Amino acid sequence: MSQHMPVRVFVVVNTASDDARTLARSVVEALGDAGAKVGGVAHDIESLDLGDSSSVDVIADDFPAGSAEADVVVVFGGDGTILRAAELAAPGTPLLGVNLGHVGFLAEAEPEDVTFVVESLIGRRWEVEERTRLNVSLQRDGQQVDGTWALNEVSVEKASRERMINVLVEVDGRPLSRWGCDGVVCATPTGSTAYAFSAGGPVVWPEVAALLVVPLSAHALFARPLVVSPSSSISLDVDPGSAAVLWADGRRTIDVRPGDRLVVTADPVPVRFARLAPAPFTDRLVAKFDLPVEGWRGRQRS
């Protein structure tokens, strides 16, 4: 696409945050003044109070997921808002997050970087980073009856607080173990710092090709987090008598009946992120968790 064509930006905003709305308003106005084509769903755009003279393309709130066509989707909020943006964006459209949440592992920029963000968008200066996402198929009596995808993780969890579930875990067509547990999390490297991290899973660098399997409060001697091949197929068989629910990125749910099977694989279609500057994941990890690195003198040269 020609560098002289106006950049197309789709904005997604955490409308519950005053700071997110204020920052989004200033960026949308700056992009409009520079000739960019800006759009967004009605609920988000109306929350910005842009006025009647705004040229923003307002789209109905109920438009189909995965159909937001743009050169880049810019997100104002935390990781939860970025996950919502991933649902809205057309496949292949990169996401650029401006962090106004708590941790913001998925975000590229902080509020103080907003001038640089606008300049980079107008000049189409960003690199694309691809992240693995998961595909999950819900099978019943040998037939697929439902399915979804996730950027961070999918989890099968007990449907009622008072009863755990029994899940037989299978990797690449071979049985691994049966867990009496609160649930099982299957995560991407991106999701290793989300739910899987809270459940005791390892932190995995985003460029590592792998999938994670993390049991939740399993009553078993062998109940350790697992790292498997990105080409592996992970099956979770829910025993008869176990009522469960499937969660995808903590946003979408599917009821799981006793005897159902969940098949989790890496989706061939990645989620893309727009990166404005090189940023080692190690530095991001240190910054987000405020890790103690005082006194480091750099790599010693011989």
Look at residue 93 and tell me if it is in a domain: yes
Look up the CATH number of the domain holding residue 91.
3.40.50.10330
- Name the strand (E) or helix (H) holding 45: helix 42-46
Q: 277 and 203: one domain?
A: no
Burial category of 113 from C-beta neighbours within 10 Å (exposed 0-12, middle 13-18, buried 19 and up): middle
Count how many domains the chain has.
2
Q: What pLDDT sits at residue 5?
A: 86
pLDDT at 295: 87
pLDDT tens per residue, the chain (302 residues)?
A: 445 689 999 999 999 999 999 999 999 999 999 999 999 999 999 999 998 757 899 999 888 888 888 999 999 999 999 999 999 999 999 999 999 987 788 999 999 999 999 999 999 999 999 999 999 999 999 999 999 999 999 999 999 888 999 999 999 999 999 999 999 999 999 999 999 999 999 999 999 999 999 999 999 889 999 999 999 999 999 999 999 999 999 999 999 999 999 999 999 999 999 999 988 999 999 988 899 999 888 766 55
pLDDT of residue 301: 56
What is the model's pTM? 0.91
**Residues acting as catalytic residues:** 79
The distance of Cα 206 from the centroid of its chain, to the nearest Å, equals 12
Residues 55 and 149 in one domain: no
User: Quick one: pLDDT at residue 1?
Assistant: 46
In a domain, 27, yes or no: yes
Q: What is the CA radius of gyration of the chain?
A: 21
Does 79 lie in the same domain as 46? yes
Q: Which residue range(s) make up the domain with 20?
A: 8-131+270-289
d(CA 50, CA 178): 55
